[in-house]
Structure 1
């Protein structure tokens, strides 16, 4: 559970237990010692792990002190209901505590504004209840950068959430419920934080794609359900780009002209970014699965991105200036929205750039454009780093294509350095996935250059991912060795 210590001095004074005068730009002590003054005035959160059983016990003790008669009624039906109610209250209270955190680095609402509506839905779906408990259990580890040493209690909650989800998915009445979709999405987020997949044969992204397809076949008048689906389209589409086992159903063809990211560009006269419309994003997986068939569509999409990237980049510069001049919660939120949109647009453009060059369709400018966009991705990673981990969790999605598309060894090394910097925000398994996806994407482009075309679907399994061979723990097999990170450029 989070608490809020009152001390707001800088980190250096806090570590030495000294009183900080909180002067700006540096406190007196840091100025005197000529050391960096970091964290002055910052609100710090402190987390204490508390299990549901501890909550129930403490509540029971409180009731016993207030009225001794409860001791003789502990086995009554009313007592059982009370314990269940206490557990529900503890779950809701813990989750609400996390939603109260507005620091963009740890704000759960970055995953969807509807997160604030989840507490009122707790207690109606066992999969959602268990998924929320798993997220609450993992969150302190995310905050303390301890994903590699997760507590036994948090892992047990995650396993329980997977079991509860399976139960709901086996129930036709619950499988397509909005709460079940939420549960899958929350576990997808937890998997990204920790890399834990419990040896699943099917990823949560694949499961979401299946559920969204099933949900589209039915009619729902629930606005919450519609909002959930609109949010979940994006992570499914993004995972489908890197996971050929995900096949988007016919539902994406019915997308309206909805765009991902901010509602409108900041710059005057800027056009709507057609490349960020959901129907445009949803086409990308199919385009790169059959690039020879859709080479003209890839070329047309890339030409449009060439026009849109400078426009969105100008809007991002204005958002940066506004957030720097007046760092309000609104201006910071807008800046992050533009960073995410720009990162996504650049990442997609880099993929198309690499595929077009693999087909020999370079018009003479694409090598330079790939280098420039890769440098843009590196700069974006640097600028967004102040909002790590959650507010900058999108960054690897543009760094992976940057490493793949550029042929400049120096730029590649800087991309790897940026990925290494972001490694600490996620589990080793998650960062290993970045590495595998980078080499997989380059391998697919190499197959196209050699005239073989993309890897067939049957080449994707537990021990193989396209051109990449994996060992039993998921590391990449490189001749007689295995590797879980990028090769040195030496």
Structure 2
């Protein structure tokens, strides 16, 4: 092989250019001189460097203009430049702002750890890079989300994050105020991304007085719009995910009013029906068979909450029917630990089921409170309690409320392994449990009951501190 030295002598003999007998463990010369014998018998390779000068690669640079009396001679190129290897000459890769944003966002999507997987916010996230370049507000919100994503893990907030976030807010306000873009699916998606980004690094009150009101307005516009871009799978998945979020917010914000056509069973609708399932809800068929989390059921519960006294029969039938079945089913599914925590896919399934169970517990807490406050008389008759005072029915509701609170606490403790993103819904469930403990007034409380209640409240506060630590910038503004 050309350029390969034939000598296999030790380093000491080669340095002195002496013949080495390559004896082991020491050659004769190293043994006699009592020096270390290293490298004996090893084959060495000599790498021949090759450089191409710019004069050879670019002939037009090698020809210097001739010197005349009227012109100054052109100085030759520096030696370092003329001997520069061709490989070191930078080659510009075609790119623009959209391609850089897409590359950054795709890198974030490649995270498969469920704790930091953006797809937990909706299956349509994988389609977002293909939507770049269509809507300035969506482009800016994707950029803000991508730039802010590292802070979810590091909790280090840079000026670039807040700059991108502020630019996205400005673009979104312009898009919502423009009649040509206000009703587009891209603008609605931009609102959702900004809501997520605000939860990471925002301090509250940065965009709209109520995110749910703004999203509800855009969804209602989409329901009656003749815009064709609402007919694809991306729009269907986005609308289905946001419907669940808005319906949940409507429990406490009665200014949210959604068009019933959004969950009507008889179409045609201007929004297509999704094939994939959103993270926190079920599709119309439901992979887990959770009845109360289907969009029509959530819409009915929302109407119950707006007028509790007028819908007591509906609340009662829901509480003792679908809610009890859903609680038992989700409890059973989560008790099966054989297929959990093995692969990223199974972790996703487990995290989704925990979120669903938390939502069912939240609905059960609300219904339990409504019945204990407004339906005490009916419960005495319905449950057939022989006590004239109806204490049996009230105590039964009290036991169930305590059970729901304990289940919520246990669920939040188990879900902490999926913090921050896959368990980001847990604080809402913990707050619901704390509210229930605060508003329930039990007639038969003794010292033991009060101690247990205080212990539950203390554990809930500990969990809230734990979960709020996942997004310290957002928590600091509350």
Q: TM-score range by the shorter chain?
A: 0.5 to 0.7
Contact kept? 2:203, 2:476, Cα under 8 Å: no
| Mapping of residues 3-18 of structure 1, within 5 Å | none
Give the 3 Å change call, closer, same or farther, for CA 371–213 of structure 1 in structure 2.
same
Cα distance, 1:157–1:168 mapped onto 2, change above 3 Å: same
**1:425 maps to which residue?**
470
Contact 1:252/1:279 (<8 A) preserved: no
Shift of 1:297: 1.4
Unaligned 5+ runs, structure 2: 1-85, 267-272, 380-392, 441-452
1:176/1:211 contact within 8 Å kept: yes
Preserved contact between residue 193 and residue 430 of structure 1 (Cα < 8 Å): no
1:228 to 238, 255, 258: 238
CA distance 1:255–1:232, shift in 2 (3 Å): farther
Rg larger in 1 or in 2?
2
Compared CA separation, residues 65 and 242, structure 1 to 2 (3 A)? farther
Aligned-residue offset at 1:368 = 0.6
Conserved in 2, the CA contact under 8 Å of 1:265 and 1:312? no
Residue aligning to 2:167: 160
Normalising by the residue count of structure 1, what TM-score does the alignment of the two structures yield?
Answer: 0.65
1:242 is paired with a residue whose SS is coil
Pick the aligned partner of 2:459 from 411, 414, 422.
414
Find the aligned partners of 2:235 and 2:409 in 1 and give their Cα distance: 37
Task: Please state how far the C-alpha of 1:419 moved relative to its aligned partner.
Answer: 1.2
Residue equivalent to 2:414: 383
The higher-RCO structure (CA 8 Å, 6+ apart) is 2
Asked if the contact 1:99/1:109 (under 8 Å) is kept, the reply is yes
Q: CA deviation at 1:290?
A: 1.5
Deviation at 1:131, TM superposition (A): 0.2
Unaligned runs of 5+ in 1: 1-61, 71-78, 267-271, 434-490
1:249-288 correspondence to structure 2 within 5 Å: 249-254=259-264, 260-261=281-282, 272-288=289-305
- Is residue 218 from structure 1 mapped to residue 225 from structure 2 by the alignment? yes
Instruction: Please tell me whether residue 103 in structure 1 is matched to residue 108 in structure 2.
Output: no
Q: Does 1:369 align with 2:394?
A: no
- Corresponding residue for 2:328? 310
The answer to which of 217-226 and 113-122 deviates more is: 217-226
Structure 1 residues 176, 357: CA separation in 2 closer, same or farther (over 3 Å shift)? same
The residue number in structure 2 matching 1:178 is 185
**1:208/1:245 CA distance change after superposition, 3 Å:** same
| CA deviation after TM superposition for structure 1 residue 295, in Å | 1.8
The one-character-per-residue Cα deviations of 1:435-485 (angstroms, maximum 9, x if unpaired) are xxxxxxxxxxxxxxxxxxxxxxxxxxxxxxxxxxxxxxxxxxxxxxxxxxx
Is the contact made by 1:344 and 1:397 (CA closer than 8 Å) also made in structure 2?
no
Could you tell me how far apart the structure 2 residues matched to 1:261 and 1:426 are?
A: 27
Question: Which stretch shifts more, 330-339 or 127-136?
Answer: 330-339
Map of 2:367 onto structure 1? 352
Q: Deviations over 1:301-359 (max 9, x none)?
A: 111212321122101112x33215xx112221211121111111011111111122122
The 1:244–1:65 alpha-carbon spacing in structure 2 relative to 1, beyond 3 Å, is farther
Deviation by residue 1:414-442 (Cα, 9 ceiling, x = unmatched): 22211111110124655886xxxxxxxxx
The CA deviation at 1:171 is: 2.3
Count of equivalent residues: 347
Deviation per CA, 1:25-82: give whole Å up to 9, x if none: xxxxxxxxxxxxxxxxxxxxxxxxxxxxxxxxxxxxx999547xx9xxxxxxxx9xx6
Q: Secondary structure at the match of 1:323?
A: coil
Cα deviation digits, residues 245-292 of structure 1 (max 9, x gap):
3222333451589992486567xxxxx322111111123333222211
Report the TM-score, using the length of structure 2 for normalisation.
0.67
Q: 1:398 aligns with which of 429, 437, 446?
A: 429
Q: Which runs of 4+ in 1 moved over 3 A?
A: 62-67, 195-201, 255-259, 261-266, 427-433
